[in-house]
Amino acid sequence: METDRRGRPRLVASRRPGSSARDEILDAAAELFTTVGYAATSTRRIADSVGIRQASLYHHFAAKDDILDALLAGTVDASMELAVELLAEDGPMAPRLHTLVVADTAQLCGGAWNLGTLYLLPDLRVERFAAFHRRRGELRSHYRELSRAVIAEHNGAPDANDLPFRLVEAVINRRSDDGACPSDYPWTTAEAALRVLGCASGFARMRAQTASRLASPPE
Amino acid sequence: METDRRGRPRLVASRRPGSSARDEILDAAAELFTTVGYAATSTRRIADSVGIRQASLYHHFAAKDDILDALLAGTVDASMELAVELLAEDGPMAPRLHTLVVADTAQLCGGAWNLGTLYLLPDLRVERFAAFHRRRGELRSHYRELSRAVIAEHNGAPDANDLPFRLVEAVINRRSDDGACPSDYPWTTAEAALRVLGCASGFARMRAQTASRLASPPE
């Protein structure tokens, strides 16, 4: 018989970032999935790593794939919102794509664990993750829409329209190889994303606009 | 007691590409590692998939990680050789980087299985794969050396020197998302790799040179 144990005292003191048990479970799972592997990690091991009982974990997530799904959603949700916002605005597209690339790259460079390394897992190619794939596909479409507009503005190569999205996700490999990304990587990536579309100037102004919009100083 | 069974008749008729049992084992393993997962694939399952006994598989590879190591080496060896060759030549660097990107991208787009999806596996972060990491690191260094020279030739942004290597590997994600890459993707990627370094013209000539060198017609 299962009872609600959310109020029960911890087996060990909390040692994970996060204001709630749910956040601690997500952090522990992110660490284990990216360092031990998704297939090789059990919910038991995640619970042990947080210092809670497995039954308590199940109050927050019914199964291991629900934890993975929540982690994956966290890698696209904020960028999706920003992309939709930027697409609805007026003016030239180049500065808008610049802002999206900086924000999205910074997000993928940040966070304690390199969650993007999970995108290519065969385990993700099942119906359970269809919603995530759809959402990441929408984000990719938004990138392409912005990119096509920049290509039109700058007489760029039409077949380059998927490359800004790819440059952003390439940060996952850089982080995996070097353990971290240089602090100016979001800005480097944004400029590169515009250059592949034929836009090769106006970067100083875009950097200032993006920095003020995202309220983070340019490097 | 183990005897050499290489000469024994197959349990089932061969249905895999490859002129030798070794090639068939590599093909079966590549399929299983990329579709089922590395951790979830046993040597028994690989042997079954080829239609040979597990003992016969062990005559070719002592362990599962030896198979993975051979597959990974196959994704960098030819590009390494070409990079060394190109670096030793004379003349401007841009056309040489163009050639390397086209050849390397075509190689990653080709082949029956998308082996690059295995690069980010936590299973690879062990001493057993140190030689592969070193070799891929050398390939990356060669890309950076070529890229730095192109940046110097074209007054590009110095911090972009790692991006051509990243653009090439991004093909792995494109292939994973869409099942395949467009046939002109190597050419699209090569032009983008040069654009991020500040080189924005002279592509028609480079395409012709690269095509003639690689003896494959430009798209």
ipTM of the complex: 0.89
Tell me the three state secondary structure of residue A40: coil
Report the distance separating Cα B162 and Cα A175, nearest Å.
12
Number of structural domains chain A divides into = 2
**Alpha carbon distances (Å) from B190 to A41, B78, B116, B158, B171:** 39, 17, 18, 18, 12
Q: What is the pLDDT of residues A12-71, one digit of tens each?
A: 555 677 679 999 999 999 999 999 999 999 999 999 999 999 999 999 999 999 999 999
Report the distance separating Cα A219 and Cα A78, nearest Å.
22
Contact across the interface for A173 and B169, Cβ inside 8 Å: yes
pLDDT for res A215: 86
The answer to whether residue A7 is domain-embedded is no
The answer to whether residue B106 is domain-embedded is yes
Mark whether B114 and B208 lie in a shared domain.
Answer: yes
pLDDT for res B204: 97
Residues listed for chain A: 219
Collect all residues with Cβ–Cβ distance below 8 Å to A215 and sequence separation of at least 6.
none
Long-range contacts of B44-47 (CB under 8 A, 24+ apart): none
Contact across the interface for A157 and B188, Cβ inside 8 Å: yes
Note whether A61 and A175 are within 8 A (CB): no
Query: Residue A189 maps to which CATH number?
Result: 1.10.357
In terms of residue numbers, what domain contains B37?
Answer: 21-70
Residues of B in contact with A196 (CB under 8 A): 167, 192, 195-196
Residue B206 sits at the chain A interface (C-beta within 8 Å):
no
Other Cβ atoms within 10 Å of A42 Cβ, number: 12
Residues of A in contact with B45 (CB under 8 A): none
Residues of B in contact with A157 (CB under 8 A): 188, 191-192
Angle, CA of B215, B89 and B218, to the nearest 5° = 25
Residue A154 predicted with pLDDT over 50: yes
Residue A11 predicted with pLDDT over 60: no
Answer with the one of B30, B53, B70 that is the final residue of a domain. B70
Nearest CB among B121, B125, B163 relative to A192 is that of: B163
Mark whether A177 and A118 lie in a shared domain.
Answer: yes
Mark whether B95 and B166 lie in a shared domain.
Answer: yes
Q: For B103-133, give the DSSP string.
A: HHHHHHH-SSS-GGGGTT-GGGSSGGGHHHH
Tell me which residue has tokens 């002279």: B202
